[in-house]
Structures are given as C-alpha cells and as structure tokens.
Amino acid sequence: MKFLVFYGSYRRDRMGIRLADFVVDGFKARGDDCELIDAKALDLPMLDRMYKEYAPGTAPAALEALAAKIKAADGFVFVTGEYNWGVQPGLKNLTDHFLEEWFWRPAAIASYSAGRFSGVRAALAWHGTLSEMGMVVISSALSVGPISATLDESGRPTGEPGARLEKAFPRFAADLEWWAEAAKGQKAKTLPPY
C-alpha cells in the first residue's frame, strides 16, 4: 500500500512532527510505502485557486507534483494538532487546494496536543471535513497527549505514554490497510459512480 502522511504545523517549535515521523516509520516497518507531506516544507500560498481551477499544465509545480502523489496514493493519514479546539490552518490550507484528487480512498486521523486532551477536538473537526472531501474516515484513531511525554525528539516512544502509543498503532495501521485494500479492490471491480 502507498500512504501519504500529511502534517500541517508551521510553528517554530512544533512537536507534532514527532508523531508524523512515528506514523511514517510505523507504516514503513509494516512494509508499506509511506511518505511525509509537510505543509510547512511545501509552503503553498493561501488558497486562491484550487488545483482543478488551473488550465491543464499551468498549475504551480508544487501543486502538480502533490496532485500526482495524492492521486497515486491508496490512503492518507492526517496528523493534526489542536488550535483553540479547531484544526491547524496550514494543514487545512493544504487540503483545500484539492478536491476530486482525494476521492474514493480511506483516511485516518492522528491527533496530538501538549495537554491531556490529545487533540481529539481537532480530530473530530477533521472527521467531517475529510468525509465532505470524498474520503472514508476509518474508525480507529491515534490520540497523543501530552506529546512531549509520549515521543522524544526523534519520534521514538518514551515512557508509559509511549508504550500505549506503540500498543495502539498496529490496530490503527491495520484498519487503514484493510480499507485501502478494500477500496483498491472495489475500484478494480467497479468504477466509482462519478
């Protein structure tokens, strides 16, 4: 399976990159092809035109390259922090540049925060957003908090919170793999309805 892991914090001292790295490494260890898509590294402009609103071949190179990666992926993981009970603007801006490119694949949500709520309110907001964008959101989720006590600077689990994360990850990964395989099989059998 080919998965893309999206991460959207632009903060100078961002800690969620630890969870993004953990997720990428976890899928790779399971034999999946997995790539991190970091909104800060892409540095897309604030949404003015969606990818589909450009004439063919005229979209900025970063949008063309990312559109191709999204279309080729079997599924997605969205790693999100919680900003005032809501979603990170960098990740939301990245996702809004696309629409049909997301269709007919599963998505998973991994949330985090500096506190004990683990970003679950942002995860809840993302669930509806991703569904509206044509993805099937799996029921398994990863919720990490406080992130500094769960993952070290290299994204390796630490202490009891890290052990809980390591125990939760296989179910999370297996659920996304199952749905990705199911979607791939269904698309090979029956073309999507539109």
Percentage of the chain beyond pLDDT 70 is 100
Confidence of residue 194 (pLDDT cuts 50, 70, 90): confident
Q: How far from 79 is each of 4, 23, 39, 112, CA to CA, in Å?
A: 11, 9, 11, 8
Residues 121-149, mean pLDDT to the nearest whole number: 96
* CA dist., res. 177 & res. 1, Å (int): 7
pLDDT of residue 193: 81
Q: How far apart are the first and last CA of the chain?
A: 24
* CA dist., res. 110 & res. 140, Å (int): 9
Residues 172-192, mean pLDDT to the nearest whole number: 95
With a cut of 80, say whether residue 151 has pLDDT above it: yes
For 83-96, b/e burial (b = at least 16 CB within 10 A) is beeebbebbbbbbe
* CA dist., res. 4 & res. 32, Å (int): 10
Topology (CATH) of 2-189: Rossmann fold (3.40.50)
pLDDT of residue 116: 87
Reported as a single tens digit per residue, the pLDDT across 102-117 is 999 999 999 999 988 9
